[in-house]
Chains A and B, each alone.
Chain A
Amino acid sequence: MLELYGTKLASRLLLGTAQYPSPAILADAVKASCASAVTVSLRREMAGGRGGEKFWSLIQSLRLHVLPNTAGCHSVKEAVTTAKMAREIFGTNWIKLEVIGNHDTLQPDVFGLVEAARILCEDGFAVFPYTTDDLVVAERLLEAGCRVLMPWCAPIGSALGPVNVTALRSMRGHFPEVPLIVDAGLGRPSHAALVMELGFDAVLLNTAVARAADPVGMARAFGKAVDAGREAYRSGLLEPRDVAVPSTPTIGQAVLQ
């Protein structure tokens, strides 16, 4: 079972809660996906928490683990302040740490990310850093106290799917013991299955479900894909080869005529 900062999660899918047509559809989609945790953006969706109690109580009624995020923060100071507010409002020390380096591409500012991660880890937060697939940055985040890493596989909301499978594979190889969650860039259930087949521990996504024509159906599809990818990884996948291998050997068969 997946364990993040000492908490066991039944499902390897984490869902974002933004951009759904309505809270009712959000709730149905989360149920259909069997997700174990949801992310909530204090800043972008809830005006910094002012007057958003109703939305928060809708999220609470889902009875799942809540991973607040610092979406929309562009500096270490903003991210740290937002994390502290989130801890108070949502009553959890979990924080998905985003420090955005570019307003347009929403690329993480990895320098600010490491700095903010160090401050928050020292303050007792369980930090889930949204990072790139860079191995050195990953090492710095672990040194800063992170026990989970969340690399992107493509820019946020791009729906491109894994654009650098080699980098993801090498990240998995370098950090065999660290829970790795692919966060951002997934567009299709097959993308989720692919990264799970690579041995990633979980996926986190939002746009691909929230902006689907039928978010509930798409949530269910992602739930199945994550399970399928995980089971395939555990079952041992065949390595591809260049030549055909007959599934029924012909040499050495008994001749019965």
Chain B
Amino acid sequence: MRVLVKGAGVAGLTAAFELAARGAVVTIAEIRHGLGGNASWMAGGMLAPWCERESAEQPVLDLGHDAADWWDAVLPGHVTRAGTLVLAMSRDAGELNRFASRTSGHRWIDEDEIALLEPDLAGRFRRGLFFPGEAHLDPRRAMAALHEKLAGSGVEFHFGADAQYMTGFDREIDCAGMASRDDRLRGVRGEMLILHAPDISLSRPVRLLHPRLPLYLAPRADHHFMAGATMIESLSTGQVTARSMMELLNAAYSVHPAFGEATIVETGVGVRPAFPDNLPRVESHGRTVAINGLYRHGFLLAPAMARWAAELVFDSDKPVELADETDGQRRSA
């Protein structure tokens, strides 16, 4: 079977992998000229379904809890399984209680244990929440590695290619995100910074709770950190605003004053595709299967979505309508 995958974001790459693994001959068409620039490229790369459950609904946890295993199996060495640390400034201590009451898979830790986990944060926070089952990866390195792996196994990549002029395929997988013409989709703008802070080391993503702007710092290689991310109801891909940058930097500075000495390596903006319930969907329309609406959970949910889509392609008789299922769970939640 010849399959065309539209889009080389995390949804397209994972779908290509699942399809190729089942024996499909896969071609990927990406309108951009490389892997960069899409929402996945700007992602935090946190595989943190228990933390996300604070604001996301149950399907995000159900579909995401084995994402770390998938990435670890497909790209050995890319996944760091060191958990997530959730902290709050002392005046926002109530936010920690609230976070704890909305989530599972965590335990309370005190100042000493925070110091054991993250020596650089010693003495800065009296208590926190630790989610030991969570993991993280570097989205850009993971995308590049997956691209290389797929290309090496015979998947054809066409960058700068408009998929509508490509023909001769049995099935199409639409993973174009915001570029898909789906009226139900909206864009949720996210702004992020990449900081280089040579004085600080963190072993795991740190989330700083704040009543208005929860921030996370995701460690990347060589003392680089991604600070993210805002959530704004907008399709705009314009530059990061001063307000957002100040708030992100303020929060980073609150985690550790040494972030004040960091250099700002990059500012980025991504637009997350989302359905009205902020849950993803895999849908089949004739010869096309569409994966979309991964919202802020691209790396977390893409493996499960890719499997659903591959099953739909190879087992068309089986009615797999994720949209209905998640909808059912939402109503019963």
Contact = CB atoms under 8 A, between A and B. Distances in A.
Contact of A54 (B56, B101, B187, B330): B187
A145 interface: no
Given A21-B56, A157-B211, A213-B101, A52 B235 contact: yes
Interface string A25-67: 1010000000000000000011100111111001000000000
A213 B58 CA distance: 12
Contact of A51 (B57, B235, B241, B330): B235
Contact of A21 (B57, B186, B211, B232): B57
Question: Range of interface residues on chain B?
Answer: 20 to 34
A6 to B, nearest CB: 30
A55 B277 contact: no
Interface string A156-175: 01000000000000000000
A201 to B, nearest CB: 28
Contacts of B243: 72
Interface in B225-278: 232-236, 238, 241, 243, 274-278
A27 B55 CA distance: 16
A132 to B, nearest CB: 20
Contacts of A58: 186, 276
A23 B277 CA distance: 6
A22 interface: yes
A224 B317 CA distance: 48
Contacts of A207: 211
A237 B234 CA distance: 48
Contacts of B55: 21
Contacts of B330: 24
Question: Range of interface residues on chain A?
Answer: 20 to 34
Interface in A51-98: 51-55, 58, 72
Given A54-B186, A55-B186, A58-B186, A21 B278 contact: yes
A212 B243 CA distance: 27
Residue from A45, A54, A55, A72 with most neighbouring chain B CB atoms (10 Å): A54
Interface in B318-333: 330
B2 interface: no
Contact of B233 (A24, A25, A45, A211): A45
B234 A46 contact: yes
B102 interface: yes
A248 B330 CA distance: 52
Contacts of B238: 50
B187 A22 contact: no
B106 interface: no
B189 interface: yes
A14 B265 CA distance: 43
Given A52-B234, A211-B98, 16 more contacts: A21-B57, A23-B186, A23-B276, A25-B277, A27-B276, A46-B233, A47-B189, A47-B232, A47-B234, A50-B234, A51-B236, A54-B235, A55-B186, A55-B233, A55-B234, A58-B186
30 contacts: A22-B274, A22-B276, A22-B278, A23-B277, A24-B277, A24-B278, A27-B276, A45-B232, A45-B233, A46-B233, A47-B189, A47-B232, A47-B233, A47-B236, A50-B234, A51-B189, A51-B236, A52-B232, A52-B234, A52-B235, A53-B235, A54-B186, A54-B187, A54-B235, A55-B234, A58-B276, A207-B211, A211-B98, A213-B101, A213-B102
